[in-house]
Structure 1
Amino acid sequence: MAEPLDATTEPEPAADRGLAEALASVDPARPLAEVMASVLESHGDRPALGERARDPATGRPLPRFDTISYRELWSRVRALAGRWHHDQEYPLGPGDRICTLGFTSTDYTTLDLACIHVGAVPVPLQSNASPSQLVPIVAESEPTVLAASTDRLETALDLVIASETIRRLILFDHGPGTIGPHAALSAARERLTAAGSGVVLDTLTELIDRGRSLPPPPLYTPTEGEDPLSLLIYTSGSTGAPKGAMYTQRLLGTAWYGFSYGSADTPAISVLYLPQSHLAGRYAVMGSLVKGGTGYFTASGDLSTLFEDIALVRPTELTMVPRLCEMLLQHYRGELDRRSAEPGDVEAAVRRELRDEFLGGRVAKAFVGTAPLSAELAAFVESVLGFHLYTGYGSTEAGGVLLDTVVQRPPVTDYKLVDVPELGYYATDLPHPRGELLLKSDTLIAGYYRRPDLTAEIFDADGYYRTGDVFAETGPDRLVYVDRTKDTLKLSQGEFVTVSRLETVLLRSTSTANSARSTRSWSPRRPPPSVPRRSAPGWAPR
Structure 2
Amino acid sequence: MASATYSFMHGFVLQEDRTALAFLPLGHIYERIMELCSVATGKRIGYACGDPLRFLEDVQLLKPHWIALVPRVLNRLYQAITAAGNAPGLKGALFRRAVAVKLHNLRTNGRMTHALWDRLVFKKVSAVLGGRLAVLGSGSALLSANTVEFFKIALLADLREGYGMTENAGICTMSWPDDPSSGGTVGGLMPSVEVKLVDVPELGYRASDKPFPRGELYMRGAPRFVGYYKDPAKTKETIDEEGWLHTGDVATIDDHGRFKIIDRVKNIMKLAQGEYVALEHIENVYMVSPLVAQLFIHGDGLKSYLVGVVVPDPVQAAALVNRVTGEHVSAEDIEALEWWLQNQRVVDAALAELEKEENVQKLKGFEKIKRLHLTLNGFTVENNCLTPTLKIRRKDAYEKFKQQIDALYALPEPSSPKL
Q: Same fold (TM over 0.5)?
A: yes
Partner AA of 1:383 in structure 2: I
Partner AA of 2:130 in structure 1: G
Q: Specify the alignment match of 1:411 in structure 2.
A: 192
Partner AA of 2:138 in structure 1: V
**Which one of the candidate residues 468, 471, 474 is aligned to 2:254?**
474
The alpha carbon displacement at 1:531 in A equals 9.2
Give me the whole-angstrom Cα distance separating, in 2, the residues matched to 1:280 and 1:314. 21
Q: Specify the alignment match of 1:340 in structure 2.
A: 88
Q: Specify the alignment match of 1:396 in structure 2.
A: 166
Structure 1 residues 287, 531: closer, same or farther in 2, change over 3 A?
farther
Contiguous gaps of at least 5 residues in structure 1: 1-250, 518-526, 533-539
Q: Specify the alignment match of 2:53 in structure 1.
A: 304
Give me the whole-angstrom Cα distance separating, in 2, the residues matched to 1:346 and 1:482. 33
Structure 1 residues 340, 352: closer, same or farther in 2, change over 3 A?
farther
Q: How does 1:59-138 map to 2 (within 5 A)?
A: none
Q: Deviations over 1:353-390 (max 9, x none)?
A: 221x2111111222221211111111111111234321
Give me the whole-angstrom Cα distance separating, in 1, the residues matched to 2:359 and 2:138. 17
Structure 1 residues 504, 309: closer, same or farther in 2, change over 3 A?
closer
**Which one of the candidate residues 254, 275, 278 is aligned to 2:25?**
275
The answer as to whether partners of 1:395 and 1:541 remain within 8 angstroms in 2 is no
Partner AA of 2:267 in structure 1: D
Range 462-471 or range 503-512, more displaced: 503-512
The answer as to whether partners of 2:20 and 2:44 remain within 8 angstroms in 1 is yes
User: Is residue 322 of structure 1 aligned with residue 92 of structure 2?
Assistant: no
Give me the whole-angstrom Cα distance separating, in 2, the residues matched to 1:257 and 1:436. 23
SS in structure 2 opposite 1:345?
Answer: helix
Q: Deviations over 1:79-138 (max 9, x none)?
A: xxxxxxxxxxxxxxxxxxxxxxxxxxxxxxxxxxxxxxxxxxxxxxxxxxxxxxxxxxxx
Q: Specify the alignment match of 2:215 in structure 1.
A: 435
The answer as to whether partners of 1:314 and 1:363 remain within 8 angstroms in 2 is yes
The alpha carbon displacement at 1:441 in A equals 0.9
Larger helix proportion, structure 1 or 2?
A: 2
Partner AA of 1:423 in structure 2: L
Give me the whole-angstrom Cα distance separating, in 2, the residues matched to 1:365 and 1:509. 24
Q: Deviations over 1:169-202 (max 9, x none)?
A: xxxxxxxxxxxxxxxxxxxxxxxxxxxxxxxxxx
Q: Specify the alignment match of 1:212 in structure 2.
A: none
SS in structure 1 opposite 2:58?
Answer: helix
Partner AA of 1:313 in structure 2: L
Partner AA of 2:162 in structure 1: G
The alpha carbon displacement at 1:479 in A equals 2.2
Structure 1 residues 495, 402: closer, same or farther in 2, change over 3 A?
same
The answer as to whether partners of 1:376 and 1:529 remain within 8 angstroms in 2 is no
Range 499-508 or range 261-270, more displaced: 499-508
The answer as to whether partners of 1:398 and 1:445 remain within 8 angstroms in 2 is yes
The alpha carbon displacement at 1:410 in A equals 3.0
Structure 1 residues 380, 445: closer, same or farther in 2, change over 3 A?
same
Q: Specify the alignment match of 2:147 in structure 1.
A: 377
**Which one of the candidate residues 253, 264, 286 is aligned to 2:36?**
286
Partner AA of 2:226 in structure 1: A
User: Is residue 352 of structure 1 aligned with residue 123 of structure 2?
Assistant: yes
The sequence identity of aligned pairs, in percent, is 31
The alpha carbon displacement at 1:503 in A equals 3.3
Structure 1 residues 471, 365: closer, same or farther in 2, change over 3 A?
same
Give me the whole-angstrom Cα distance separating, in 2, the residues matched to 1:476 and 1:342. 41
Q: Specify the alignment match of 1:264 in structure 2.
A: 14
The alpha carbon displacement at 1:260 in A equals 5.7
Give me the whole-angstrom Cα distance separating, in 1, the residues matched to 2:288 and 2:256. 33
SS in structure 2 opposite 1:455?
Answer: helix
Figure out how many residues of one structure are paired with residues of the other and give that number: 272
The alpha carbon displacement at 1:442 in A equals 1.1
Q: How does 1:144-183 map to 2 (within 5 A)?
A: none
Partner AA of 1:276 in structure 2: L
Partner AA of 2:240 in structure 1: D
Q: Deviations over 1:133-184 (max 9, x none)?
A: xxxxxxxxxxxxxxxxxxxxxxxxxxxxxxxxxxxxxxxxxxxxxxxxxxxx
Partner AA of 1:459 in structure 2: I
Structure 1 residues 430, 408: closer, same or farther in 2, change over 3 A?
closer
SS in structure 1 opposite 2:149?
Answer: helix
Q: Specify the alignment match of 1:7 in structure 2.
A: none
SS in structure 2 opposite 1:342?
Answer: helix
Give me the whole-angstrom Cα distance separating, in 2, the residues matched to 1:510 and 1:391. 20
The answer as to whether partners of 1:459 and 1:466 remain within 8 angstroms in 2 is yes
Structure 1 residues 352, 402: closer, same or farther in 2, change over 3 A?
same
Compare CA radii of gyration and give the structure with the larger one. 1
